[in-house]
Each structure stands twice: as structure tokens, then as C-alpha cells.
């Protein structure tokens, strides 16, 4: 399966909306548009809407209801932060967001623990040998994370 190119934040939101419809999830979207509104533009002057290159930055925060609890913060710099049941995946390329969510909702994501060094990880495989792995900080696993455990 070829990864679709998502040139804008809005294109990524549309792709997430399509995925939410496919998996029958409700979603909410909050948009922040303008250099003075986006989270990574804290140095923007007051009432400055455009970036120095004349572009209009667009950031979106998407929440998907259900189990697991998932939120996606799409940044204007072509990346995203995806949170799955409290586990944060930073710097996920915007083009990989739909495949990441499809892996989570289709049951391909899993948790894996080790005795030494001790820890529990959430692993999300994507097509094409791309895998995201993050440490689960909270020792108490949510019911969804506990169900995803594999040896």
C-alpha cells in the first residue's frame, strides 16, 4: 500500500475524517490558523498572521472518541504528535498519520514488556517496515493497552 502525500494540515484532517467514518468513530477538530495562533510560533509578533515567507500556518488538534483514546496534533511543519491512551508519539510525519491510526484501530498495535531493562512499550507497525515504538511511562496499563500485550 503506497503512502498518500498529504500536502496540508487540512488534507490530513480529511484523511483522518475518512478513517473515522470507516471505523465508525466520532471525532472533533480544533483549528489554529495564523502565525500568532500556532503552538510552535511563540516568537511571532502580536497580530502577525503570516510567516515571513508569506504562508499561512495551519495547525489542527483532532480527538477520536472510543477505545483507545486517541488525539492527533497536526503541525504546519509536516509532522504530528499522536497520543494513544496516554502514550505520546512525537514527530510522526504527517503522511504517516492515516497509516498509524489504521494500525491502531485495526489491531496491529501491540504492547511488549521486558524484564531487563524493565519497561513496557507500545509498538505501532506501519506498512513498508516503518515502526513506531514508545515507552509506556504509567505503570498501570489502561484496559486497551493491557489487551494489546503480546509476548
Alpha-carbon distance of 38 to 58, in angstroms, equals 7
pLDDT, tens digit (0-9, with 9 covering 90-100), for 123-140:
999 988 899 999 998 878
Provide mean pLDDT across the span 47-73.
Answer: 76
DSSP classification of residue 95: G
Are residues 79 and 93 in contact, defined by beta-carbon separation less than 8 angstroms? yes
Task: Give how far the C-alpha of residue 57 lies from the chain's centroid of Cα atoms, to the nearest Å.
Answer: 18
C-alpha angle 60-63-66 in degrees, rounded to nearest 5? 165
Are residues 60 and 13 in contact, defined by beta-carbon separation less than 8 angstroms? yes
Q: How high is the mean pLDDT of the chain?
A: 83
Question: 70 in helix, strand or coil?
Answer: strand
Provide mean pLDDT across the span 52-72.
Answer: 81
Alpha-carbon distance of 143 to 151, in angstroms, equals 17
CA 141 to each of CA 64, 82, 149: distance values in angstroms, whole numbers, following the listed order: 20, 18, 10
Q: Please give the pLDDT value at position 56.
A: 57
Q: Please give the pLDDT value at position 140.
A: 81
pLDDT band at 110 (very low <50, low <70, confident <90, very high): very high
Q: Please give the pLDDT value at position 75.
A: 87
| pTM metric for this prediction | 0.84
Amino acid at each position: 500500500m503506497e503512502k498518500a502525500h498529504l500536502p496540508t494540515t487540512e488534507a490530513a484532517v480529511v484523511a483522518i475524517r475518512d478513517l473515522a467514518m470507516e471505523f465508525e468513530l466520532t471525532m472533533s477538530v480544533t483549528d489554529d490558523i495564523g502565525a500568532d495562533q500556532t503552538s510552535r510560533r511563540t516568537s511571532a509578533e502580536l497580530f502577525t498572521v503570516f510567516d515571513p515567507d508569506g504562508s499561512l500556518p495551519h495547525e489542527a488538534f483532532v480527538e477520536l472518541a472510543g477505545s483507545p483514546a486517541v488525539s492527533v496534533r497536526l503541525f504546519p511543519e509536516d509532522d504530528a504528535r499522536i497520543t494513544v491512551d496516554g502514550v505520546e508519539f512525537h514527530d510522526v510525519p504527517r503522511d504517516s498519520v492515516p497509516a498509524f491510526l489504521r494500525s491502531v484501530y485495526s489491531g496491529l498495535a501491540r504492547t511488549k514488556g521486558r524484564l531487563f531493562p524493565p519497561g513496557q512499550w507500545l509498538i505501532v507497525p506501519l506498512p513498508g517496515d516503518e515502526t513506531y515504538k514508545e515507552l509506556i511511562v504509567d505503570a498501570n496499563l489502561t484496559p486497551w493497552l493491557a489487551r494489546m500485550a503480546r509476548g
